[in-house]
Amino acid sequence: MTDQIPDQQAAEDEFLPRQELLDQIDDAVQAGDAERLNVLLEPMHGADIADIIERLPPAGRRAFLSLYSGEIDGEILSEIDEAIRDEVIEQLPPEVVAEAVREMDSDDVVDLVEDMDEPERQEILAALDATDRAAVQQSLAYPEYSAGRLMQSEVVTAPEHWTVGEAVAFLQTEEWLPEQFYHIVLVDPRRHPLGYVTLGRLLASSHATPLRDITEDSFRTISAFAEEADVAYVFNQYHLISAPVVDRDDRLVGIITIDDAMAVLDEEHEEDILLLAGVGEESSLTDSVMQTARQRVPWLATNILTAVAAASVIGLFESSIAQLVALAVLMPIVASMGGNAGTQTLTVAVRGLATKDLTRDNSVRVIRREVVVGLLNGAIFGLAIGTVTYFWFGNFGLGAVIGLAMIINLTIAALAGILVPLALEKLGADPALASPTFVTTVTDVVGFFAFLGLATVILL
């Protein structure tokens, strides 16, 4: 097993720029050698260049852009993290930004300008031709985080009555085709999408074959008003490569491709992880000290309040702790085990809600399973810590008390870990946002109360 770890690390590093190359790039930036920098970056992918820009400190980033600004194109600009993208754009010459924007697909332009202030947005839109500008403005008219914002307006369509030969001739002569596309969407005279044909199926069929005879069974349309999280779910659930987007009248207005859907899925996963940790859904390694502190303060403040609630429970048993000091030694064990057990269940529940695997239909069964798991783990670890306590303090009653408290707290922890996110989902709140705070509070309060309360009743 240990031999596999270096191999796995090497396989991952194979897709990253070599450290030697990164050091050479740093040296070129520090020396102000634009020619050397261009030579080093020329063979690199736009995504890797964007990563290099992101990892640089602000001063290094300014120096890099002053040397390389003329080479920043649409591919690089679209890959730069949103947290520093505005900063990068401000440091680029207007003509470079304009040229980069003209190279981008409409969905990438929307992603670029949607969070900008209106004057900056208009400056970017002014660089587009009238057709592209209208397409971007149409997407911006849809609600934020909707399929309409995610789609690109460049769609390859064909009348439903066309044959393969007519479609191939169209593709060979048309100049406006998107740089990348996967399907030809069949439409009726009212632009209602009726199906789509993959390019592979198109090329493998005879020219006389009607397009309607080789459409894919995976065809699905997506409302422009659908939430982008639901779009990502549909792509992942049905293994889609692209999907037409329709307006309220079922007319074709754009298309969403798998790269954009998977980007949303990745963002959803990242957001859930950040929210579970209470660090803010938009936290980034490129954030400043003040931005990072500001994002974390609310949840730390909330944690203080919940800690006070747990401390108040301990205060109720002050006299018991004074009579049996061993209680003060052991009570953190019960609360800590409950917190860990609750977090385990909570993580599974939040993930299940995000992927729609946890639903109203199976929630009762999942709740029952988690309670049984909590009882079983509580019994196992209750017996273990009870035995340790007996040999540690030589007190059988104390070992029995902590064992019972462990069973109670791990069972309640499992129950809270599943019920809290379900309740928040029912109320329309993000389960990942507040669940950890609630669950930790429950496990601390119940753990201290169960352990100290049992000790007071049985031992004192």
Model confidence pLDDT, tens digit, residues 63-80: 888 888 777 888 888 888
Contacts of 118 (CB under 8 A, 6+ apart): none
Mark whether 40 and 174 lie in a shared domain.
no
Q: 149-205, pLDDT tens digit by residue? A: 999 888 999 999 999 999 999 999 988 888 788 999 999 999 999 999 999 999 999
Mark whether 163 and 121 lie in a shared domain.
no
Q: Is residue 441 part of a domain?
A: yes
Q: What is the pLDDT of residue 12?
A: 46
Mark whether 245 and 126 lie in a shared domain.
no
Whether the model clears a pTM of 0.85, i.e. scores above it, the answer is no
Q: What is the pLDDT of residue 283?
A: 64
C-alpha span between 121 and 113 (Å, rounded): 5
Q: Is residue 416 part of a domain?
A: yes
Q: What is the pLDDT of residue 30?
A: 87
Q: What is the pLDDT of residue 157?
A: 94
Q: Is residue 81 part of a domain?
A: yes
User: Which CATH number do you get for residue 107?
Assistant: 1.25.60.10
Low-confidence ranges of the chain (pLDDT < 50): 1-12
Mark whether 55 and 196 lie in a shared domain.
no
How many Cβ atoms are within 10 Å of 47's Cβ, its own excluded? 12
Q: Is residue 283 part of a domain?
A: no
Q: What is the pLDDT of residue 114?
A: 83
Q: What is the pLDDT of residue 2?
A: 45
Q: Is residue 10 part of a domain?
A: no
Contacts of 314 (CB under 8 A, 6+ apart): 321, 331, 448, 452
Mark whether 448 and 345 lie in a shared domain.
yes
Q: Is residue 148 part of a domain?
A: no
Q: What is the pLDDT of residue 10?
A: 45
Which of these three, 112, 141, 170, is where a domain ends? 141
Mark whether 326 and 429 lie in a shared domain.
yes
Residue 39 structural domain: 16-141
Which of these three, 141, 172, 199, is where a domain ends? 141
User: Which CATH number do you get for residue 186?
Assistant: 3.10.580.10
Mark whether 299 and 419 lie in a shared domain.
yes
Mark whether 311 and 442 lie in a shared domain.
yes
- Classified as helix, coil or strand, 72 is coil
Q: What is the pLDDT of residue 286?
A: 62
Mark whether 386 and 302 lie in a shared domain.
yes
Q: Is residue 5 part of a domain?
A: no
C-alpha span between 151 and 135 (Å, rounded): 10
Mark whether 90 and 188 lie in a shared domain.
no
Mark whether 302 and 428 lie in a shared domain.
yes
Question: Phi then psi for 145, rounded to 5 degrees?
Answer: 65, 30
Q: Is residue 149 part of a domain?
A: no
* DSSP sequence for 344-398: HHHHHHHHHHHTT-S-TTTHHHHHHHHHHHHHHHHHHHHHHHHHHHHHHH--HHH
C-alpha span between 350 and 273 (Å, rounded): 10
Give how far the C-alpha of residue 189 lies from the chain's centroid of Cα atoms, to the nearest Å. Answer: 39
Report the number of distinct structural domains present in the chain.
3
Q: What is the pLDDT of residue 460?
A: 74
What percentage of the chain exceeds 90 in pLDDT? Answer: 32
Which of these three, 109, 141, 173, is where a domain ends? 141
Mark whether 92 and 174 lie in a shared domain.
no
